[in-house]
Structure 1
Amino acid sequence: MTAPVAVVTGSDSGIGRATAVRLARLGMDVGVTWHTDRAGAERTATEVTDSGRRAAVEQVDLTRLPEAADVVDELADRLGGIDVLVNNAGTGTATPFTDIAPDTVRHVLDLDLVGPFLCGQRAARRMIAQGRGGRIVNVTSVHEHQPKVGAAPYCAAKGGLGLLTQVMALELAEHGILVNAVAPGEIATPMTGQEDTDVRTEPRPGVPLGRPGDAREVAEVIAFLAGGTNRYVTGASWTVDGGMTRMGPMAGSHLGDDSWRRV
Structure 2
Amino acid sequence: MKLEGKVALVTGSSQGIGQAIAVRLAQEGADIIIDYRSHQEGAQETLSKVESTGRSGLIVKADLGVVSEVRQLIQSGIQHFGKLDILVNNAGIEKNASFWDVTEADYDAVLNVNLKGVFFATQTFVQHLIETKRTGKIINISSVHEELPFPHFTSYCASKGGVKMMTRNLAIELGPLGITINNVAPGAIETPINTRLLNDPEKLGALLKNIPLGRLGQSQDVASLVSFLASPDADYVTGSTFFVDGGLLWNYQEQ
Q: Could you state the TM-score of these two structures normalised by the residue count of structure 1?
A: 0.89
Displacement of 1:131? 2.2
**CA RMSD of superposed structures (Å):** 1.8
Q: Which amino acid aligns with 2:26?
A: A
1:91 corresponds to: 93
1:230 corresponds to: 234
CA distance in 2, matches of 1:131, 1:179: 17
Task: State how 1:219-258 maps to structure 2 within 5 Å.
Answer: 219-248=223-252, 251=253
Displacement of 1:169? 1.2
2:23 corresponds to: 21
CA offsets 1:24-44 (integer angstroms, 9 cap, x no match): 011100000001110100110
- Corresponding residue SS for 2:250: helix
CA offsets 1:66-122 (integer angstroms, 9 cap, x no match): 443320111121112000000000000211000000111011000100001000001
Task: State how 1:150-165 maps to structure 2 within 5 Å.
Answer: 150-165=152-167
2:193 corresponds to: 191
Q: Indicate if the aligned counterparts of 1:69 and 1:119 stay in contact, CA closer than 8 A.
A: yes
Unaligned runs of 5+ in 2: none
State how many pairs are aligned.
Answer: 246
Displacement of 1:62? 1.5
Q: Which amino acid aligns with 2:27?
A: R
Displacement of 1:65? 2.7
Unaligned runs of 5+ in 1: 253-259
CA distance in 2, matches of 1:233, 1:194: 36
Displacement of 1:196? 11
Q: Indicate if the aligned counterparts of 1:139 and 1:181 stay in contact, CA closer than 8 A.
A: yes
Displacement of 1:223? 0.7
Displacement of 1:195? 11
- Corresponding residue SS for 2:238: coil
2:5 corresponds to: 3
The 10-residue stretch of structure 1 (126-135 or 138-147) with the greater mean CA deviation from structure 2: 126-135
Q: Which amino acid aligns with 1:95?
A: A
Task: State how 1:138-157 maps to structure 2 within 5 Å.
Answer: 138-157=140-159
Q: 1:195 to 1:9 in 2, by over 3 A?
A: farther
Task: Give 4+ residue runs of structure 1 displaced > 4 Å after superposition.
Answer: 194-197
Q: Indicate if the aligned counterparts of 2:96 and 2:152 stay in contact, CA closer than 8 A.
A: yes
Q: Indicate if the aligned counterparts of 2:11 and 2:88 stay in contact, CA closer than 8 A.
A: yes
- Corresponding residue SS for 1:247: coil
Task: State how 1:160-175 maps to structure 2 within 5 Å.
Answer: 160-175=162-177
Q: Which amino acid aligns with 2:225?
A: V
Displacement of 1:128? 2.0
Q: Which amino acid aligns with 2:111?
A: L
Give 2:77's match in structure 1, choosing from 75, 78, 90: 75
Q: Indicate if the aligned counterparts of 1:72 and 1:119 stay in contact, CA closer than 8 A.
A: yes
